[in-house]
Amino acid sequence: MDPALVLVWLSIVVTILSRSHAERNVYPSAGVLFVHVLEREHFKGEFPPYPKAGDSSNDPITFNTNLMGYPDRPGWLRYIQRTPNSDGVLYGSPTAEHVGKATVIEITAYNRRTFETARHKLVINIMSTEEFPLPYQAEFFIKNMNVEEMLASEVLGDFLGAVKNVWQPERLNAINITSALDRGGRVPLPINNLKEGVYVMVGADVQFSSCLREVESPHNQLRCSQEMEPLISCDKKFRAQFNIDWCKINLVDITKVVTVHSNHPDPGTGVLPEIGEYNPPPESLTSRDYLSDFLITLAVPMAVAMVLFAILGYSMCCRREGVDKRNMQTPDIQLVHHSSIQKSTKELRSMSKNREISWPLSTLPVFSQSGEVVPPLHPDNYETTSMPLMQTQINLQNQNQIPQQQPSGKWYS
């Protein structure tokens, strides 16, 4: 077989294996900040390029990271990626309890153009260190930085250099970096290039310098309570690049910290313990008797309703007094008065129907010259309120003439 063809096949096999089983080992130290950058350039070679050469750099790639076999990362490890066109960053501070345990992180890269994925594995081997833990720790709040900007090696190196100038320790390490949003901070407005802020904790092996302790003076504490900037002599060494909020600096001497035992449970690492396999219920379920449920749900309320209905029917039908019993209990003189009033009312109503009404002249036809009175057109059993005001010429057959007076005062017909 042609050796060149063999080399081509071997390269194809190696490429396929690298896409699914690529591993990388890192060896961070306990108590020291760990930063690992997920470079997009490292994953671009595993996706098909653009038809046009040189356009593959525009591929939007996002990453998903999780502990192998679990949906999320360990509690000490965080991840951030601002946009699909920027690199992702894994960062955190492992503790001593993770020493000697290999933590395998699955990294899945998603190409938003081709919808293809590539999976790598990052093996984190946490090492112990003699300097852990550093006894003196100081946490600074930097207002003009975002967490991904602070995680850059050159920016973090500049900050540690400034801290070393004002502290003068023999050993100085960055312990942890936390975004202000993770501490309950608010998202800044998208104006004036505002930053969210970042907390940076550093540790050293010597006592805090006098410059760092100036914030504890009563004068500076008063200024902080009044929301004014304290007067710190070494602030000018940071101000050129880092805007530090000195009122939020936190100095901790772990040699003097008293451990307080709390009743609250330990939050843990976010990884569920091994409790065995999940056994789902069988496919063939046993039948269930619903007779008792039916009796409780329908029969009992219906029985109560029937009893209440019987009581109500007895009270309404069997306990009625009636008109006869009411008349028997009423005095005779009261019954006579009631009967006379009722007869008088009926007589008045019948008389009111038979009375004649003189119609006003305004109801006569407009073009009538006879001067006759229009009789009512409705029968006696109709009410007068329903009669129309204007009558037509057709309904004037039975009109009676009434005398009219001339302007001179003489009568004429």
Q: What is the pLDDT of residues 176-230, one digit of tens each?
A: 999 988 888 888 877 777 888 999 999 998 888 888 888 888 999 999 999 888 8
Contact 343, 373 (CB under 8 A): no
Indicate if the pLDDT at residue 131 is higher than 80.
no
pLDDT-above-70 percentage for the chain: 73
Parent domain of 238:
136-253
One domain, residues 106 and 72? yes
Has residue 304 got a pLDDT over 90?
A: yes
Q: Residue 181 falls within a domain, yes or no?
A: yes
Is the pLDDT reported for residue 308 higher than 90? yes
121 with 140, same domain: the answer is no
- How much is the pLDDT for 385? 47
pLDDT tens digits, one per residue of 244-290: 999 999 998 888 764 444 455 565 666 667 777 778 777 777 788 88
Among 101, 125, 149, the domain-final residue is 125
| pLDDT at residue 105, rounded to an integer | 93
**What percentage of the chain exceeds 90 in pLDDT?**
20
Residue 62, in any domain of the structure:
yes
Average of per-residue pLDDT across 281-303: 84
**Res. 160 pLDDT band, cuts 50 70 90:** very high
**Judgement on whether residues 108 and 65 belong to the same structural domain of the protein:** yes
Give the model's pLDDT for residue 257.
62
The answer on 232 and 206 residing in a single domain is yes
In whole angstroms, how far apart are CA 25 and each of 30, 36, 126, 163? 16, 11, 10, 31
Verify cis geometry, omega within 30 degrees of 0, for the bond prior to 265: no
Least confident of 11-15, 118-122, 141-145, 285-289: 11-15
Mean pLDDT lowest among 130-134, 179-183, 308-312, 374-378: 374-378
pLDDT given at position 75: 87
Same domain, 143 and 242: yes
Q: Region 162-176: what's the mean pLDDT?
A: 89
pLDDT of residue 3 exceeding 70, the answer is no
Is the pLDDT reported for residue 379 higher than 60? Answer: no
Domain presence at residue 153: yes
Is there a domain that residue 158 lies in? yes
On whether the CB atoms of residues 404 and 412 are closer than 8 A, the answer is yes
Answer with the one of 204, 231, 253 that is the final residue of a domain: 253
Look at residue 73 and tell me if it is in a domain.
yes
Query: Given a cut of 50, is residue 10 above it in pLDDT?
Result: no
Predicted confidence band of residue 382 (pLDDT cuts 50, 70, 90) = very low
144 and 247 housed in the same domain: yes
Query: Does one domain contain both 140 and 236?
Result: yes
Q: pLDDT higher for 175 or 191?
A: 175
Q: Does 92 lie in the same domain as 65?
A: yes
Across the chain, what does the average pLDDT equal? 77
Angstrom distance (rounded) from CA 335 to CA 341: 10
- The answer to the question of residue 104 being in a domain is yes
Q: What is the pLDDT of residue 370?
A: 52
pLDDT computed for residue 14 by the predictor: 33
Assess whether pLDDT exceeds 50 at residue 409: no
* CATH number (domain holding residue 118): 2.60.40.10
Task: Give the phi and the psi of residue 80 in degrees, each rounded to 5.
Answer: -145, 140
| 301 vs 407: which has the higher pLDDT | 301
- Residue 194 and residue 104: Cα distance in Å, rounded? 36
pLDDT value at residue 12: 34
- Asked whether residue 93 is domain-assigned, the answer is yes
Rounded average pLDDT over 115-140: 86
Looking at the fold, whether 146 and 171 belong to one and the same domain comes out as yes
CB atoms within 10 A of CB 78: 19
Top-confidence range, 132-136, 154-158, 402-406:
154-158
Same domain as 173, residue 225:
yes
Indicate if the pLDDT at residue 166 is higher than 80: yes
Reported as a single tens digit per residue, the pLDDT across 54-87 is 555 578 899 999 999 898 899 899 999 988 988 9
Q: Per the structure, how many domains does the chain have?
A: 2
**Residue 398: is its pLDDT beyond 60?**
no
Statement to judge: residues 112 and 144 lie in one domain = no
Q: Is 115 in the same domain as 41? A: yes
In a domain, 14, yes or no: no
End-of-domain residue from the set 99, 125, 151: 125
What pLDDT does residue 325 have? 76
